[in-house]
Amino acid sequence: MKEEVESRLRSSLGDAIVSVDEFNEQVSIEIKRDRITDVCKILKEELGFNYLSDLCGADMLNYDDASARKAYLAIEHEHRPHQVPNEERFLVVYQLTSLKDKSGDSDLGKRLRLKVKVDGDNPVCPSITSVFKSANWYEREAFDMFGIEFEGHPDMRRMYMPEEYEYYPLRKDFPLMGVPGSIPLPRR
């Protein structure tokens, strides 16, 4: 099943794909950053993925799946530590759904996940609001939480935190309790 999906995608998308992955019957494709808008357009118009379920960012600083190789009670196997380089620090993940495909039980023909790797020092990614209007608020939330700017977005401002807030809360180097005094409290 995976090969059929993969061949269909490769024939339409061609060289924009960097890699195809499958985990537990869910297919995720990594796309080159500059081609993401074209890829979304092709997926929407030709392959029928017309509903954007979700768009999120992720910070992969110090992501190390070595603990998966460790046995349950912390016995070390030899592993090569691999660090995600700074040019691929942020990940933007798109979940697309095809509302027209109703056959079958598993997610393989109906859901697709696209991933785009974004630089850590200058996080910029093209916006897909011209293709999917619902991406508007999701991209604003990714900007608020991670600082990833989306080129071509009509209204790039913060979503949850106050406008004057200077930090990006969901980055891994931001502490859980926040920076004290960053938002002022009224006096008693």
Partner 1 sequence: MPLGISCCAIEMMAFAGPRFDVSRFGAEVFRFSPRQSDLLIVAGTVTYKMAKVVRKIYDQMPDPKWVISMGVCASSGGMYRSYSVVQGIDQFVPVDVYVAGCPPRPDSVLKALMEIQKKISRGNHPGQVGGKVSPEFDHEKILIE
Partner 2 sequence: MAASAEDKKPKTQSAANVSQILKALEDRDTNVVLEDPLENYMVLNMGPQHPATHGVLRLLVKLDGETVVDCIPELGYLHRGYEKIAEACTYHEFIPHTDRLDYISPLANNVAYALAVEKIAGVEAPPRAQYIRVISAELARISSHLMAIGAMAMDVGAMTVFLWSFREREKLYDVFDLFTGVRFTTSYTRIGGVAQDMDDKAVQAIRKFIDEFPKNLSEMGRMLNKNRIFLDRTVGVGAINADDAVEIGLSGPNIRACGIDYDLRTFSPYLVYDQLSFDVVTEKDGDCFARYMVRMREMEESSKLVRQALENMPVGPVKADLPKRVLPDKERVYTKMEEMIHDFVIVNDGVHPPAGDAYVAIEGSKGELGFYIISDGSGAPWRLKIRSPSFCNLQALPLLLKGQMISDVVAIIGSIDPIMGEADK
Binding site for partner 1 (CB under 8 A): 160-162, 169, 174-179, 183, 185-188
User: Looking at 99, 152, 167, 179, which residue binds partner 2 (CB under 8 A)?
Assistant: 99
Q: Name the residue with tokens 């697709």.
A: 112
- Can you tell me the distance from the alpha carbon of 65 to that of 69, in angstroms, rounded to the nearest whole number? 7
Query: Cβ neighbours of residue 76 under 8 Å, at least 6 residues apart?
Result: 70
The span of 5-13, 31-39, 116-124, 167-175 binding partner 2 (CB under 8 A) equals: 167-175
User: Looking at 66, 83, 85, 87, which residue binds partner 2 (CB under 8 A)?
Assistant: 66
- Can you tell me the distance from the alpha carbon of 114 to that of 181, in angstroms, rounded to the nearest whole number? 38
Query: Cβ neighbours of residue 69 under 8 Å, at least 6 residues apart?
Result: 77, 79
81 binds, among partner 2, partner 1, none (CB under 5 to 8 A by kind): none
User: Looking at 5, 33, 47, 50, which residue binds partner 2 (CB under 8 A)?
Assistant: 50
27 CB neighbour count, 10 Å cutoff: 20
Phi, psi of 174 (to 5 degrees): -100, 130
Q: Contact residues for partner 2 (CB under 8 A)?
A: 23-24, 26, 28, 50-54, 56, 58-59, 63-70, 72-73, 93, 95, 99, 102, 105-107, 110-111, 113, 132-134, 136-137, 145, 154-164, 166, 169-170, 174, 176, 184
